Structure 1
């Protein structure tokens, strides 16, 4: 690939998108303190590699990791997945933008699943473009323990195995640009799971009681759709990206450990990350929800061949699960966020992402707030 910059011809060497090993570091700076934090550090290693019919993908960050392995024969895939969230520090729920100390617990999960799938390449036939249907049997271990700050009314369920089937459908027909940002096309996905806890009981996480006979078995259904394209009358440098995410529980009552979790972070662009719903300016996994809708509209402008400016509007409707109200298990909430950001190639074969976001109410108990997200990724 070649291009012209300030009158000079520049040759851009091809990139092997099947094989990548990168480090990602950064932070979210809260200009309005959120959950007792002024900043939230970010760091991980990303690994993606392909050996003929075998593919691996992993994200590693010490206490929170995920790993996928697939082997393809024709259109048939055998699949293996592992993930864990075993942070050894106390976890507190966030209510009205503040940590509730009485909800402090130490909790963790370790999950694995095996399955079979069907994979069919689709247009425009880049490495990420395919249609996949995957069926897993998954099993995991869930544990929780009180801390010295845990409220006297908190009663935790027993540690247990969690098992059940998991169905995943993915379609990625997006053509991506040099910075791996969606340029044109459509992507969508669907996740469905039906889970059972081996041993269970009533639980109180600081408010109302979650009955064991309603929370032991549960099902969850979630999905997303994303479309990218041009704007009539404007050049290819101008792009419009629309996305919508939703989820609900067809059966069972979702609790602190099974609820959907909506949080902040960068907008997803990689094929295997597109399922992740984002509300700009939030902490990671800030909103526990029994059902939700999150939609966004983004305008992106190419400033230089390696530099892109974006403006994004995000709307969220969340049926938030409550853990501190003795009379209610959930409440509905709405939020609007406005974001402006820059994605750019950087020195040393790296990439820089900076985004400022402004939330009108949902993150800070009805008051506005803002945050600055900074990420730097370097291919090793």
Structure 2
């Protein structure tokens, strides 16, 4: 269905089209020099020592888990309120997701909730910087030290966000970003892993290239380990590389749109706006409000040509994470609230003041 006011519009500038055409004209379409440039751009922007491009955030998470040595018999703690890929990557490597609740206001897994689920089998914790809001890095770093576990950040939505002066991508042991079209930097599909650990980066790069190592004495390829094909093409990378040139402007625009939403929605007492602690800079992949009767409101908004969406999913409700496929820890009051009440509003480059005002007016009418 086509909406008058869509949830998101990809940023496709003249520069993007020019760079795509340059790749097409070069004849070098698979992963290559443009992908390397895109990796360098993301590493330089985040401040990370290394960046490795992938086909998606999901395959990036999977590969990161493999490099951390996670497999059968290991447990990995994940939040209940997240896209299924977070826990699915754990299952793919043969480990067990341990699913815990989230804070009812931030919708993030807290260190306290994660700590309650730690066992002798816990090897990794995967907090999610949901919708562009960084999690409590200080608290999770303390858990890392106390229990000797790794922190793998699902930063799918969080490129451009900042925690206490440091950009997301440098705070966890490994962070993984998404470039899905819902993200304001998008390559159609794609992901990027950042880390300061050079050995991990080398291992991840090798795994996504079929386990390929450096050429032997005769120049022939040498395959050192099992691997697969998780390469990002030059075509995709050209889109992301061109968008990275404008990331500061794109991010500033999203911040302005978020501020205006909060200002316009303040008089509507039945709507709870997003939380943003003062020491955090949100990247606003999604502007997500809480509203009761969400499903009915979503239907009414869509019928008026305004695309709105649920936040994401409560994993414990789905068969993929039931009946022994995962371990469920505690109650899920925060996650259930988020699943039932979270509503994502439209936000995109070039969104006009008139469009944003209309979204708020129609939403206000729906909740009256």
TM-score by length of 1: 0.21
Ranked by relative contact order (alpha carbons within 8 Å, sequence separation 6 or more), the top structure is 2
Q: Which has the higher strand share?
A: 1
TM-score by length of 2: 0.22
Q: Which has the higher helix share?
A: 2
